[in-house]
């Protein structure tokens, strides 16, 4: 079990995917350019085997924005996309069409 204070360490925000593109030579990785209102971040997600970049562009979704940056296939990811996954491994996007860009998620 985790203490709830561990959860509050994560800064989760609503972000708008402005642009999405496959990372060359990767089967799963997609580079997202995400707006959080007053700043933008690059986030790399590994769902390219189930979604195309076109499926992601223009969607508002939830991102963790205070993780250490990590390089994936030469691209620095500055956050993490929050998704749902069923027992069979199917991934589902969690969109937030009504929430404003940059809104805190808790």
pTM listed for this prediction: 0.94
User: What does the domain layout of the chain look like in residue ranges?
Assistant: 4-98
Asked whether 40 and 33 are in contact (CB, 8 A), the reply is: yes
pLDDT tens digits, one per residue of 37-96: 999 999 999 999 999 999 999 999 999 999 999 999 999 999 999 999 999 999 999 999
Q: State how far the Cα of 58 lies from the Cα of 44, in Å rounded to an integer.
A: 16
Nearest to 57, CA basis, from 21, 18, 3, 104: 18
Q: Which CATH homologous superfamily contains domain 4-98?
A: Nucleic acid-binding proteins (2.40.50.140)
């Amino acid at each position: 079990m985790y203490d709830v204070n561990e959860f509050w360490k994560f800064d989760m925000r609503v972000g708008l995917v402005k642009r999405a593109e496959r990372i060359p030579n990767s089967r799963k990785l997609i580079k997202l350019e995400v707006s959080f209102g007053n700043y933008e971040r690059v986030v790399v997600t590994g769902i390219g085997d189930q979604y195309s970049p076109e499926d992601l562009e223009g969607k508002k979704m939830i991102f963790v924005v205070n993780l250490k940056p990590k390089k994936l296939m030469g691209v620095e990811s500055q956050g993490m996309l929050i998704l749902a996954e069923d027992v069979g491994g199917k991934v589902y996007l969690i969109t937030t069409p009504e929430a404003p860009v940059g809104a805190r998620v808790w």
